[in-house]
Amino acid sequence: MKAKRVSAVARKEFLHVLRDWRSLGIGIAIPLVMLFLFGYALTLDVDRVPLVVWDQSQTPASRTFIGGFSASRYFQLVGEAGGYGEIERAIEARRAVIALVVPVDFARGVASGRGSSVQAIIDGSDSNVASYALGYAEGVTRSYSNQVTLDSMRRGGLPQPAAGLDLEPRVWFNSDMESRNYIFPGLIAVVMMVIAALLTSLTVAREWEVGTMEQLIATPVTRGELILGKLIPYFCIGMLDLLLAILVGEFVFDIPMRGQLWLIFASCSVFLAGALSLGMLISIVTKSQFLSSQIALVATMLPAFLLSGFVFPIANMPYPIQLFTHVITARYFVTLLRGIYLKGLGLRLLVGEALFLLAFAALVLTLAHHKLRKKIE
């Protein structure tokens, strides 16, 4: 492995990318479009969420509480229910997305300062709407509770504990409800996977098609130098995409970044090495740009979207498919990125995922090296 040759190949490949609008489009424009498109589609504002109420308390206090909901622009009171059966029917018929169950002792609990638990039943089948509805419901509840606290202080009573009331969510139909925050790191993973494989799927095939490969294999350049040199520019593009994605998350979608930045970049580089090598392998085997890009899309896009757990929770999939997701690399990266990004987890808790990505990258890279021939067959 000679640095001079690797850098010659890398530099040449950089120039290709810079001068070929297709590569630039795939590398920079498409990821951004995907992030914005999906980011907005998945975080679309929700208002006038249909609400049913089962008011067991039937007191002025409970009516004031419910009034807070009807007054909010986020909710629309569509009916009263007299029991869980009615709530279930309303949600199943999609008349309501959220139901509130105000307990019998609501007024007493609030008045005494003991507090009370209001149950919120949410249709989780559209996890996005559900997460919003839940967020709004919490907001309305909090402001009611603050009002109660304020009122009692104004009446000269002793200051009451601030958390007079709490909302106890029950999510139906999708217990692993994903929130908007949950989706964004997954989205980064999916975009990276698709882009990475697509970018490199063109490189070797293009050289075979144009005829430059015949020239190249008649030189002393080694297979390793060729592969490494070709990976470097796309690796840089991938890293740039990650940086852009984090910035978009931070400044456009307000996604809290709790993890360590270096850890995100480190795990992403391992993931990228695997995804880029996969595209390279496909390119080497097919020797055709068209075929190669099609295969890369099918091999990465579908599994990454459907089976990575990025939108569809893996726990809800049929068991055989759950088993199958274990070989989808995007799944591990989605988990890894979520863990680091949202929970600020350290590597110790994610070592399994990281090792899998490392092993995958090593395997695919070895295969690509093995399949690349400096011969015309």
* 216 contributes a contact to other proteins by CB under 8 A: yes
* 9 contributes a contact to other proteins by CB under 8 A: yes
Residues 308 and 329: their CA atoms lie apart, in Å, by 8
Q: Which is nearer to other proteins, 108 or 374 (CB)?
A: 374
* 370 contributes a contact to other proteins by CB under 8 A: no
For the bound state, the minimum distance from the C-beta of residue 204 to other proteins, rounded and expressed in Å, comes to 14
Q: Which is nearer to other proteins, 47 or 214 (CB)?
A: 214
- The SS3 assignment for 172 reads strand
**In which element (H, E) is residue 120 found?**
strand 116-123
Among the listed residues 85, 156, 159, 220, the single contact to other proteins using CB under 8 A: 220
Strand partners, 122: 98, 171
**Site map (CB under 8 A) of other proteins, residues 11-30, x = contact:** xx--xx--xx----------
Residues 129 and 49: their CA atoms lie apart, in Å, by 8
For the bound state, the minimum distance from the C-beta of residue 14 to other proteins, rounded and expressed in Å, comes to 11
Residues 66 and 224: their CA atoms lie apart, in Å, by 68
Q: CA 225, 230, 233, 239: dihedral to nearest 10 degrees?
A: -90
- The C-alpha angle 300, 304, 308, rounded to 5 degrees, equals 145
Count of residues engaged in binding other proteins, rule: CB under 8 A? 26
For the bound state, the minimum distance from the C-beta of residue 129 to other proteins, rounded and expressed in Å, comes to 48
Q: Which is nearer to other proteins, 162 or 210 (CB)?
A: 210
Residues 163 and 113: their CA atoms lie apart, in Å, by 9
Residues that bind other proteins (CB under 8 A): 2, 4-5, 7-9, 11-12, 15-16, 19-20, 210-212, 214-221, 374-376
